């Protein structure tokens, strides 16, 4: 939806989005007399043209100049007070986006003290003037009681108006009212109808919820065709969970090679949207493929997932370096992702780090003890055994046969059977 929004509106759309669960009250009157100075103090001829048009009663022109002052530029410093005057004039002339701009200034406390009740009033006015985004924001204000009382019924009406004006988020929120039975009788069919409408208006969350419903529907039947269709639409509308679910479904071992290749496309898209699970699954899918450059491609995906704090991905990246899949074996490069994996709580990462410390020249037994201890806490049986062995021999710290027996016993409980013989 944002891509189709005029550039002059983008700052407004983005700012409104920050107010995900705001409020509103009764609609109020816009000040009747908003005076503008006669002389245009703008250095841009085009803006001056809009400025004079604003004086003659064209609300859209007031909005253009008001947006200019609200954003600022190289030639003019940001001036919220002037933006207030211009948006108020535009709102007085029945221009919905101008009312929204004024509401936003009051909501954020820009140019004047923060007044959420007034913000609610002007969002109401903008919604009356058929500005869809303002209707959704107004609904969120009613829902959360921002600037006035919580009013679920009014919230639903505001979302319904946004939906009727072509705003997908409004349809989605109406669907949630029916799905959860908030303020209305619970109705799955009504909920699905509004999700479908939201999906038609390119709102990815609605498509995703539809797909999830058809995957495991309320009557217990599975409809994979509709599931795939709606998840694909969700992914096309930049909903990363839709891309992930679709990718994981197609990446299942039982799927054909053609489907697995398609899975990579969806997982890569979700990975691009910073979904660590998708990046990790993409890497695993690539490693199992027959591509000649599969390890290089997998390393990129593992690295992205690791940077997004997926511990198993860090461990996977380290293993690629350690086993020499990215050229010669490179223990130094493997160490960093193993350290990150261990820091993120992955026992295998700590174990691999301990192995590197023991294998170094000279061996770093003290550091290995610490790494194996963390791995043992992470329930990696071989690490408990290795820690017991170091303690039994007094390497990297004090020798203590009783403590060593304890760790051998832990290894045995974790099904590392050599520990059973020494406990």
Within this chain, domains 1-159 and 360-423 share the same CATH topology: yes
- Min mean pLDDT across 38-42, 177-181, 205-209 is at 38-42
pLDDT of 385 reads 96
What architecture is the 239-344 domain classified under in CATH?
Alpha Horseshoe (1.25)
pLDDT of 75 reads 81
- Min mean pLDDT across 123-132, 150-159, 219-228, 316-325 is at 219-228
Closest to 313 measured CA to CA, from 357, 358, 264, 349:
349
pLDDT of 151 reads 93
**What's the whole-model pTM score?**
0.78
Written as six digits, the tokens of 180 are 């959860």
Cis-peptide, bond into residue 362, ω within 30° of zero: yes
pLDDT of 220 reads 53
The yes-or-no verdict on residue 10 having pLDDT over 60 is: no
The yes-or-no verdict on residue 312 having pLDDT over 80 is: yes
Closest to 321 measured CA to CA, from 336, 308, 311:
336
Q: Collect all residues with Cβ–Cβ distance below 8 Å to 87 and sequence separation of at least 6.
A: 62, 63, 66, 70, 98, 99, 101, 102, 105
State the Cα angle at 155 between 1 and 210, rounded to 5°: 50
pLDDT of 178 reads 95
Q: Which residues of 263-279 are buried (b: 16+ CB within 10 A; e: fewer)?
A: bbebbbbbbeeebbbbb
42 burial type by CB count under 10 A (0-12 exposed, 13-18 middle, 19+ buried): middle
305 close to 283: Cβ distance less than 8 angstroms: yes
pLDDT of 15 reads 34
317 close to 336: Cβ distance less than 8 angstroms: no
Domain boundaries, the chain: 1-159, 166-233, 239-344, 360-423
The per-residue pLDDT of the chain, averaged, comes to 88
324 close to 348: Cβ distance less than 8 angstroms: no
Taking domain 360-423, whether its CATH number is 1.25.40.10 is answered by yes
User: Which alpha helices (H) appear in 72-184, and where do they start and end?
Assistant: 80-92, 96-108, 116-128, 132-144, 152-164, 168-180
Mean pLDDT confidence for 308-315:
96
Per-position DSSP letters for 358-393, written without gaps between them: HHSSS--HHHHHHHHHHHHHTT-HHHHHHHHHHHHH
62 close to 89: Cβ distance less than 8 angstroms: yes
CATH code reported for the domain at 166-233: 1.25.40.10
Q: Distance between the two ends of the chain, CA-based, in angstroms?
A: 65
pLDDT of 33 reads 45
Q: How confident is the model at residue 221 (pLDDT cuts 50, 70, 90)?
A: low
Taking domain 1-159, whether its CATH number is 1.25.40.10 is answered by yes
Q: How confident is the model at residue 183 (pLDDT cuts 50, 70, 90)?
A: confident
208 close to 242: Cβ distance less than 8 angstroms: yes
* Helix, strand, coil share of the chain (percent; to 5): 70, 0, 30
3-state SS class at 151:
coil
- Min mean pLDDT across 107-111, 215-219, 251-255, 304-308 is at 215-219
Q: How confident is the model at residue 252 (pLDDT cuts 50, 70, 90)?
A: confident
Closest to 377 measured CA to CA, from 397, 349, 339:
349
CA–CA gap between residue 416 and residue 51 (Å, rounded): 79
């Amino acid at each position: 939806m944002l891509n189709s929004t005029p550039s002059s509106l983008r700052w407004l759309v983005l700012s409104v989005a920050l107010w995900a669960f705001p409020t509103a009250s009764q609609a109020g009157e816009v000040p009747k007399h908003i005076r503008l100075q006669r002389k245009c103090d703008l250095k841009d001829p085009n803006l001056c043209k809009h400025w004079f048009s604003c004086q003659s009663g064209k609300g859209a022109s007031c909005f253009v100049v008001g947006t200019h002052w609200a954003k600022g530029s190289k030639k003019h410093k940001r001036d919220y007070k002037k933006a207030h005057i211009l948006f108020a004039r535009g709102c007085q002339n029945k221009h919905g986006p101008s009312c929204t701009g004024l509401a936003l200034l009051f909501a954020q406390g820009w140019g004047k003290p923060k007044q959420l009740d007034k913000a609610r009033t002007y969002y109401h006015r903008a919604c009356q003037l058929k500005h869809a985004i303002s209707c959704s924001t107004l609904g969120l204000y009613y829902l959360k009681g921002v600037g006035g009382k919580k009013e679920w019924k009014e919230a639903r009406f505001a979302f319904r108006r946004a939906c009727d004006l072509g705003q997908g988020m409004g349809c989605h929120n109406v669907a949630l009212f029916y799905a959860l039975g908030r303020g209305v009788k619970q109705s799955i069919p009504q909920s699905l109808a509004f999700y479908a409408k939201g999906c038609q208006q390119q709102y990815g969350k609605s498509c995703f919820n539809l797909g999830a419903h058809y995957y495991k529907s309320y009557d217990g039947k599975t409809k994979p065709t509709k599931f795939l269709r709606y998840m694909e639409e969700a992914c096309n509308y930049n909903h990363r969970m839709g891309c992930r679910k679709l990718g994981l479904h197609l990446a299942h071992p039982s799927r054909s090679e053609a489907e697995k290749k398609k899975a990579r496309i969806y997982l890569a898209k979700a990975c691009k949207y910073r979904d660590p699970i998708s990046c990790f699954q993409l890497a695993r899918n690539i490693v199992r493929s027959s591509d000649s450059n599969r390890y290089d491609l997998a390393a990129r995906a593992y690295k992205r997932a690791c940077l997004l704090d997926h511990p198993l991905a860090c461990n996977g990246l380290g293993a690629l370096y350690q086993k020499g899949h990215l050229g010669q074996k490179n223990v130094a490069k493997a160490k960093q992702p193993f350290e990150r994996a261990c820091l993120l709580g992955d026992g295998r990462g700590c174990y691999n780090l301990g192995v590197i410390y023991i294998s170094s020249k000279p061996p770093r037994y003290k550091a290995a003890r610490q790494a194996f201890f963390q791995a043992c806490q992470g329930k990696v049986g071989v690490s408990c055994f290795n820690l017991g062995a170091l303690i039994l021999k007094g390497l990297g710290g004090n020798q203590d046969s009783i403590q060593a027996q304890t760790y051998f016993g832990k290894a045995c409980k974790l099904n590392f059977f050599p520990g059973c013989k020494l406990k």
